[in-house]
Amino acid sequence: MTATTTRTPSPALIVLFWLYVGIPLAVGIWETLLKASALFH
């Protein structure tokens, strides 16, 4: 196998990447919960 050319990501980049996928998902879940609250009114 040839030498790897990839680098280890910094912790800040990992946190940023998690926020990139997590924030839109959290917003979508929050909006769904707001709609679901109509079920118990």
Partner 1 sequence: MSTEANQNGFFSKERITAPPGFNRWMIPPAALAVHLCIGQAYAFSVFNGPMTKLIGIQQPAPDDWGLPALGWIFSLAILFLGLSAAFAGKWLEEVGPRKAMFVAACCFGGGFIVSSIGVSTHQLWLLYLGYGVLGGIGLGIGYVSPVSTLIKWFPDKRGMATGMAIMGFGGGAFIASPMSVALMEHFRTPESMGVAPTFLVMGVLYFISMMIGACAIRIPAPDWKPEGWTPPVTQKAMISRNHVHIDQALKTPQFWLLWWALTLNVTAGIGVLGQASVMIQESFRGAITPAAAAGFVGLLSLANMLGRFFWSSTSDYLGRKTTYGIFFVLGAVLYFLVPGMGASGNVALFVLFYAIIISMYGGGFSTIPAYLADLFGTRYVGGIHGRILTAWAAAGVLGPVLVNYIRQYQVDHGVPPGQSYTVTMYLMAGLLVVGFICNLLVRPVASHHHMAADTDTAPMAASLAPQK
Note the residues at the interface with partner 1 (CB under 8 A).
1-2, 4-9, 11, 13-14, 17-18, 20-22, 24-25, 27-29, 31-33, 35-41
Report, in Å, the least distance between residue 27 CB and partner 1. Answer: 8
The encoded tokens of residue 26 equal 């959290």
* Residues in Cβ contact with 17 at an 8 Å cutoff, skipping those fewer than 6 apart: 9
32 closest CA partner among 24, 17, 10, 20: 24
